[in-house]
Amino acid sequence: MSLNNKHSSAAKTVIFTDLDGSLLDPFTYSEAVTSTLVASIVDKGIPLIFCSSKTRAEQEVYRRRMGIADPFIVENGGAIFIKRGYFPFAYQYQRVFGDYHVIELGIAYPEIRERLKEISRQHKLTITGFGDMTPAEIAKLTGLDLASAKLAQEREYEESLHLEDRDIDSILPKIAAAGLTWNRGGKLYGVSGGNDKGRATQMLTRLFRQKLGRIKTIGIGDSSNDLPMLAEVDFPVLVQKPGHGWEEIDLPRLYRVKGEGPRGWTRAIRELTSISGS
């Protein structure tokens, strides 16, 4: 796969990326492997857009550490956070949070929780989400440290469920019947109402095109919940999951790069851009 085509001439690069298992290590959640390359991306002024299931609070930790000030997409497309003044023109947004304009795509977390509780009451099912767990329980389940587990609980647009295998077939159809959507990311199920990584990517692409003119978009992910994002970019990239395999994703033009998680991520960036990270 190469950028030496009609998209590359005089076009500016914009990178959309998943975090866990892509830019970040799938087990330690560390950016150590990618940090040097990310620093080069930031230094060159190339927009690096986080597009992840992680909450705003979680993503802000990595953004501060890496010196990233670009917009970011939270909770599988629940909302887009944009620093005030980032785009030098007016655009629609739903609310202001601190220094951010927030474009909201999903319904609010309390409403999701209420619908899940109603499913549980009606059908006498046990549905366990992050809102029902302690930070210590979340840390044990996910491998996050305790501080990060607390940030993962600061949910605004999506609930993360831990479902027992025996309950999955009975619970998921009822979630859909309640007007919610679900996706699977690793061992957890994300439940939301209207969240869409693809729509969020599409909206930001339009804003960047208005700001920068001609652009070429790269998207990097590792799981099926990244498919909506990957479908919206010029150059969709899938990195390998632990065990050296790729997620089963059917998408034209998909570039399956060799390398698990961050190692595949760095290889893809180096092959698709002129950035070396050295």
Q: Let me know if domain 109-192 sits in CATH 3.40.47.10.
A: no
| Contact between residue 105 and residue 196 where contact means Cβ atoms under 8 Å apart | yes
Q: Which of 57, 20, 72 is nearest to 226 (CA)?
A: 20
Q: Give residue 183's pLDDT.
A: 87
| Two tokens, residue 198 | 């693809």
Query: Strands 235-240, 95-97: parallel, antiparallel or unpaired by DSSP?
Result: unpaired
Q: What is the pTM of this model?
A: 0.93
* SS3 of residue 158 by DSSP: strand
In the predicted structure, residue 260 carries a pLDDT above the cut 80: yes
In the chain, the N- to C-terminal Cα span, in Å, equals 22
Q: What percent of the chain has pLDDT over 90?
A: 87
- Catalytic residue flag (residue 18): yes
| CATH class entry, domain 12-106+196-272 | alpha beta
Q: Choose, from 18, 20, 196, 234, the residue flagged as catalytic.
A: 18
Q: Give residue 194's pLDDT.
A: 86
In the predicted structure, residue 117 carries a pLDDT above the cut 70: yes
The alpha carbon dihedral of 142, 146, 151, 155 has a sign of positive
- Each residue's pLDDT tens digit, 139-159: 999 999 999 999 999 999 999
Domain range list for the chain: 12-106+196-272, 109-192
Residue 160 CA: distances (Å) to CA of 39, 142, 181, 182, 235: 31, 11, 12, 10, 29
